[in-house]
Amino acid sequence: MTTPLLQVRNLVKQFPIRGGLLQRVVDRVHAVDDVSFDLCAGETLGVVGESGCGKSTTGRCILRLIEPSAGEVHFDGKDVTRAGKEELRALARDMQIIFQDPYASLNPRMTVAAIIGEALTIHKLAPTRAAYEARIVELLETVGLSSDHMRRYPHEFSGGQRQRIGIARALAVRPKLVVCDEAVSALDVSIQAQVINLLEDLQQQLGLTYIFIAHDLSVVEHISDRVAVMYLGRIVEIAPARDLYRNPRHPYTEALLSAVPIPDPTVKRERIRLQGDVPSPIHPPSGCHFHTRCPIAQKGLCDVMRPELKPVGDSGHQVSCHLRG
Ligand code: SF4
């Protein structure tokens, strides 16, 4: 069996809530609650769930853009969670992120060349001015833009083009892993498809590994090899994409999938409407976090005992449910 490029073990992130005159910690937001998974080189893991489920925080903790509260992250044999400043800087070359909002994530006062070239300068990847400019042109062409765009500013581009600039910036340091954090969520559906196709082509060409975070199962279906579904900080189901879409096991995944439109008009799928809102991550429900909204929850079991992620079959499909394991 191949060694995973990325191993995440029991990752936890709690954000303290301070209050009172002395600004003491009065509560905590349980954003990521014991998340574990492996990711092999060249693979794409889709991570989905409603907003506030901890998917973006998980991605940022893996890169140490946010400090995890507990747990371990190993990348390419290196312990990310214990890496010092210098080691982290070196790791930043291998692990990059593309942000959701291409309007907010690009500095409006910098030219496209300066935005993409910043990392080349920081990591000393272009020994001469000519090499610096040649690499920027190469990156722009890689993402479907041209050298004419170098001297322009972000406001001169459309949303899709800006996201291409964000992708070029992430690729500048030749990373192995890219966290796409809601990278297409702010774009129109037709532009989403173009950017997803570009990301797939780049994966083929450059051997990239992706964590592709989105709130919608239909967005990750095409690009993901495996999909993890998160609810209130926990992975409730993780499976090869085909398995998950054809045979969802967790009631929450079923509900999410029932909202995904089916292109074939002859196939009817009944929409499952969950009752109530997602509970607060400050005081998540006991036992199975989903029990307050689950249509098949059993009192005395689901509200008391936390279900572990357990394998179903031998395809790598895992589900966290007392009744569907
Ligand atoms: Fe529903 Fe219980 Fe399964 Fe949780 S453990 S998903 S509440 S049936």
pLDDT tens readout for residues 255-307: 999 988 777 777 777 888 888 889 999 999 999 999 999 999 999 999 999 99
Please give the angle made by the CA atoms of 255, 256 and 262, to the nearest 5 degrees: 100
- The verdict on residue 35 lying in a domain is yes
Task: Say whether pLDDT at 1 is over 60.
Answer: no
- Split into its structural domains, the chain has a count of 1
- The verdict on residue 34 lying in a domain is yes
Q: Is the CB of 213 under 6 A from ligand 1?
A: no
User: Ligand 1 centre from 152 Cα, in Å?
Assistant: 53
- The verdict on residue 199 lying in a domain is no
Residue-number span of the structural domain to which 291 is assigned: 6-94+209-319
Nearest protein CA to atom 6 of ligand 1, as residue = 321
- The verdict on residue 230 lying in a domain is yes
Please give the model's pTM, rounded to 2 decimal places: 0.94
What is the per-residue pLDDT across 113-149, written as a single tens digit (0 to 9) for each?
Answer: 999 999 999 999 999 999 999 999 999 999 999 999 9
Q: Is the CB of 304 under 6 A from ligand 1?
A: no
- How many C-beta atoms surround the C-beta of residue 147 within 10 A? 14
What is the per-residue pLDDT across 221-248, written as a single tens digit (0 to 9) for each?
Answer: 889 999 999 999 999 999 999 999 999 9
pLDDT computed for residue 111 by the predictor: 96
- The verdict on residue 33 lying in a domain is yes
SS3 for 302?
Answer: coil
- Mean pLDDT for the stretch of residues 101-109: 85
The Cα–Cα gap between 81 and 70 comes to 9
Count how many residues are written for the chain: 325
Task: Say whether pLDDT at 198 is over 80.
Answer: yes
Best of 296, 299, 309, 318 for a ligand 1 pocket test (most atoms within 8 Å of beta carbon)? 296
CA trace torsion 204, 208, 209, 211 (10° rounding): -100
Percent of the chain exceeding pLDDT 90 equals 84
Contact (Cβ atoms closer than 8 angstroms) between residue 209 and residue 177: yes
- The verdict on residue 50 lying in a domain is yes
Q: In the chain, what's the furthest Cα-to-Cα distance? A: 69
Nearest protein CA to atom 5 of ligand 1, as residue = 321
68: domain CATH number is: 3.40.50.300
- The verdict on residue 195 lying in a domain is no
Task: Say whether pLDDT at 39 is over 90.
Answer: yes
- The verdict on residue 194 lying in a domain is no
User: Ligand 1 centre from 43 Cα, in Å?
Assistant: 29
User: Ligand 1 centre from 75 Cα, in Å?
Assistant: 33
